[in-house]
Structure 1
Amino acid sequence: MNQMNQQYPDQPGQQPPMPAGVYAPPPPKKKSAAAKAGIGCGGAFGALVLIGIIAAAMGGGDAEPQAGKPGKAATAPAKGKAHGDAEPAEAEPKEKPKAAHASPVDQFKAFVAKNGSANEKAAIGHVTKVQGAEEQNDILDSVDIYTDFTGGMVGPHQSEGKLIASVFADWKQSKNGLVTIYDAKGEILSNGNF
């Protein structure tokens, strides 16, 4: 029994001696307080960002009003008008320019009406839908233009499809864009780079 106590001591924290030629693994490293809490560099940075977002959302009460946003002074009556006749600063015309809210097909047609030739204007009159013209990233831009033409690539309106693709390239530019023109049945009428 004495030998057994020498080989395996009863004291906690001590390991039994290893036989000769056997490699003992190193003891595990102790974790820091931050590692125990689960906060590393990314966690600490994320916490700071979160605090910054919350502070920005709460909006500092002493902060100056941002440019473009009217403060309390903007609602004061204008000079030359009586106090009761003043209109609030938010009373702006509700109608915005049509180009800003127009659909892509309307914007495209407006561009051609202003800059296009007679043949281009006639071809654009057959455009019914423009899809993908607003989301461009110069990596792989793909725009689909739908028309009311019939016959596909071998039909009589293939040249008008090429004309539409050409005038679209005048309207929008991309480093790697492809515009595809479709007929009324969804068949490819033409395509081109823009």
Structure 2
Amino acid sequence: MSQQQPQPGWGGPQHQGYGIPPFQPQRPKKSKAGKIVGFGCLGVVALFVLIGVAAAAGGGNGDSTDTGAKDKAVAAGRTPESDKAEATPAQKTKTQAEQFKACVAKSGTATEKKAVQHVTKVTGADKRNDILDSAEVYTDFTGGLMSDNQGDAKLIASAFTSCYESKNGLVSVYGQDGDLIANANY
């Protein structure tokens, strides 16, 4: 019988320098790229906030100058003795719903005219900036998206798109209980 030599690490005496030294992994190098990207993004966000605060503080009266120029142009073209000057205040007294109904009565189809009889209120039709225009048409219909009145509500939305124009407008038609029935881009 032959005797075998004990393997190192299996109960035999350990000799200094005998065998393979235990493997020690090297510490990973810390990259500075993550810090640079993180602080860079934070700097960009801070720059946008600073620009926004400066713009808000500096330009507060943009709307009043625009409407003033429009009023002056309208006033220059108007003569007090003309019939149009007297007709303009009459149109101003009409509600948005009445203006919408008049537009549909003038240029709408027969089915649109019938559907528009159910309109009770229109909001947002007079405020258009071509960025995000949102108009709401309220009706006396009941139900929501799956109601029996959805076809008529779509006709109302279609009639609205024929009367008003916008680059990014959205008209929503609501029932008497406030449920959305139809909407369309205009």
Within 5 Å, give how 1:50-65 maps onto structure 2: none
| Paired position in structure 2 for 1:154 | 146
- Tell me, in whole angstroms, the C-alpha distance in 2 between the residues paired with 1:113 and 1:69: 27
| Paired position in structure 2 for 1:190 | 182
| Paired position in structure 1 for 2:157 | 165
Alignment-mate amino acid for residue 110 of structure 1: A
Structure 2 unaligned regions, length at least 5: 1-74
Task: Quickly say closer, same or farther: Cα 1:96–1:191, change in 2 above 3 A.
Answer: same
Larger helix proportion of the pair: 2
Task: Quickly say closer, same or farther: Cα 1:91–1:155, change in 2 above 3 A.
Answer: same
Structure 1 unaligned regions, length at least 5: 1-65, 71-89
Task: Quickly say closer, same or farther: Cα 1:164–1:68, change in 2 above 3 A.
Answer: closer
Candidates 65, 85, 96, aligned match of 2:87: 96
Superposition deviation, residue 102 in structure 1: 1.4
Candidates 127, 131, 149, aligned match of 1:135: 127
Q: Relative contact order, CA 8 A, sep 6+: which one is greater?
A: 2
* TM-score (norm: length of structure 2): 0.54
Q: Let me know the Cα RMSD of the aligned residues.
A: 2.4
- Tell me, in whole angstroms, the C-alpha distance in 1 between the residues paired with 2:76 and 2:96: 30
The number of aligned residues is 110
Superposition deviation, residue 135 in structure 1: 0.6
- Tell me, in whole angstroms, the C-alpha distance in 2 between the residues paired with 1:176 and 1:91: 39
Superposition deviation, residue 100 in structure 1: 3.8
The percentage of counterpart residues that share the same residue type is 47
Question: Are 1:117 and 2:109 matched, yes or no?
Answer: yes
- Tell me, in whole angstroms, the C-alpha distance in 2 between the residues paired with 1:121 and 1:145: 15
